[in-house]
Amino acid sequence: MKHASLMAAAVAGFAASMMVAAAPVQADAAKAFKKNRCAQCHTVSGKHTIGPSLKGVIGRKAGTAEGFKASRYSASMIAAGEKGLVWDAKSLDGYLTNPKKFLQDYLDDPKATTKMAYPGLKKEDQRALIFEYLNGVK
Ligand code: HEC
């Protein structure tokens, strides 16, 4: 009997430590979104500010946030969406590394540009955290 309750306590303790372990990852991801300035221009609430809301952006076609006028996107972003660009781990990583160059390569057009005034995020771990964060805001 004593053994069984010890086991139960151990299992409960293990489950609790797993939950605690998961929380900092989300917190770090949210921090990465703020620390790297994304939150200055983007919400994840559905509200559009300088940039389109990034709620549900993963899995969405580029340049198609509902309620963000097409004219507020760059012509290049609209063209990339029409060419088939969908935001996923790989495309987001490429865009965040160097936004303008990513669109130029994607469209095979050296004149392509983006309205996102952001030079790019060189730190791979930060880009990965931001993907985790955005993938969690459906
Ligand atoms: C100075 C403002 C600004 C900052 C900072 C910024 N963005 Fe943007 N972002 C924009 C604008 C404006 C657009 C529209 C770009 C276009 O149409 O070319 C955009 C577009 C995007 C898109 C494509 C959205 C869609 O609907 O297709 C993603 C994804 C994105 N930003 C993510 C980020 C992330 C992640 C960060 C932080 C690392 C960030 N942005 C930082 C302004 C900003």
| Ligand 1 center–CA 3 separation, angstroms | 56
Domains belonging to the chain, first-starting first, are: 26-135 (1.10.760.10)
Nearest residue (by CA) to ligand 1, atom 26, is 63
40 Cβ below 6 A of ligand 1: yes
The count of other CB atoms within 10 Å of the CB of residue 135 is 16
By three-state DSSP, how is residue 16 classified? Answer: helix
Confidence of residue 8 (pLDDT cuts 50, 70, 90): low
Q: Which of 93, 46, 90 is nearest to 66 (CA)?
A: 46
Residues 14-58 have pLDDT tens digits of: 555 455 555 667 789 999 999 999 999 999 999 999 999 999 999
129 Cβ below 6 A of ligand 1: no
Q: Which atom of ligand 1 is nearest to the CA of 85?
A: 27
| Ligand 1 center–CA 51 separation, angstroms | 6
Q: Please provide residue 101's backbone torsions phi and psi, each rounded to the nearest 5 degrees.
A: -65, -35
Residues 86-98 have pLDDT tens digits of: 999 999 999 999 9
Amino acid letter at 51? G
Predicted confidence at residue 27, as pLDDT, reads: 87
49 Cβ below 6 A of ligand 1: no
